[in-house]
Every structure is written in C-alpha cells, then in structure tokens.
Amino acid sequence: MPTPYDVPPDLLIRVTSQYLKKNVDEVTPPDWATIVKTGPHAERPPEDPEWWYTRCASILRKLYLKGPIGVERLRSEYGGRQDRGAMKERAVKGSGAIVRLALKQLEAAGLVDRVGNRGRVVSREGRRLLDRLSTQIKEELEKKNPELRKY
C-alpha cells in the first residue's frame, strides 16, 4: 500500500488541500488570511487565494513524515531568508499564528492528535486519509506511466 513516502509531495499536497476544502468543515481560512504575511521574510501576502488549505495539507504531510513535531519546529520549516537591506540576509522563522491555528483546525477535524509536551502527530484518521490519497495518486501515475508499477 503506497504511503506519502511513495508519491511526489507536490501532488499529495495539492490533492489533500482539495480534499480539505471540499470535505472538512473544520478547516476554514480565518478572516485575516487574505491580508496576512506568512512571516517576516515575506514582503506580501500569498497570491494564491486558497493558500490556507495548501498550508494545512502541507502541515499534515510534515506531521506524517516527521511527527511528533511542535509549533516552533514547524515555524522553522516554513521560515525563510529575510532581506535586511545592506546587511547580510539571515534565516527567520515563519508565522506562529498560522501554524497554531492550522494545527487547532486539524485537531478539531480529528486528523491530528497531541502527544503531551512532545508536539503533535497524525491521528489514525489522518493517517488513513493520507494513505488513501497516496494510493489514488500512485494509481493515476501508474496509468500514465506503466513503468512505475515495478517501484
């Protein structure tokens, strides 16, 4: 059975974000999602109007692969290089409010569980969802390219 390790990340995140948008009522962008930057390294808000679902899907995938993982580590994952003018660029963390709210919404949807003080992990339902979507993606890729069946 294919898992998120076996499919390209961009396809899995795209399919998962579409699933979250259509089927999970608890995951909704907040009112401020259209005007907020994703961190101090960003100059403007994201151009994609559906970026909230993409971020939630990406967090869910990261929890599957690296969990248990906490807010600070996820902030580092979504950080970037800050342009400081004439000074050297430096690494900065991403927005903590975005990560915390996305995790709360995924918890309310039953896709993520807390593990004490160690962070969060994907729940049984979340693991089942990602495995099912990975299987669908793998089957579609095998239809397009039959050589992939041997992998």
Question: Is pLDDT of 79 > 70?
Answer: yes
Q: What per-residue confidence (pLDDT) applies to 146?
A: 80
Three-state SS at 90: strand
Find all residues with CB under 8 Å of 14, minimum gap 6, and list them.
54, 57
Q: What per-residue confidence (pLDDT) applies to 151?
A: 65
Handedness of CA 48, 93, 21, 135 (dihedral sign): positive
Q: Using the structure block, give the residue that is written with the tokens 């795209």.
A: 14
Report yes or no: 103 and 59 within 8 Å, Cβ to Cβ: yes
Q: Mean pLDDT in the chain?
A: 90
**Average pLDDT, stretch 46-75?**
92
Q: Band the pLDDT of 148: cuts 50, 70, 90.
A: confident
- Could you give the domains of the chain? 9-150 (1.10.10.10)
Q: Band the pLDDT of 87: cuts 50, 70, 90.
A: very high
Burial of 1 (0-12, 13-18, 19+ CB in 10 A): exposed
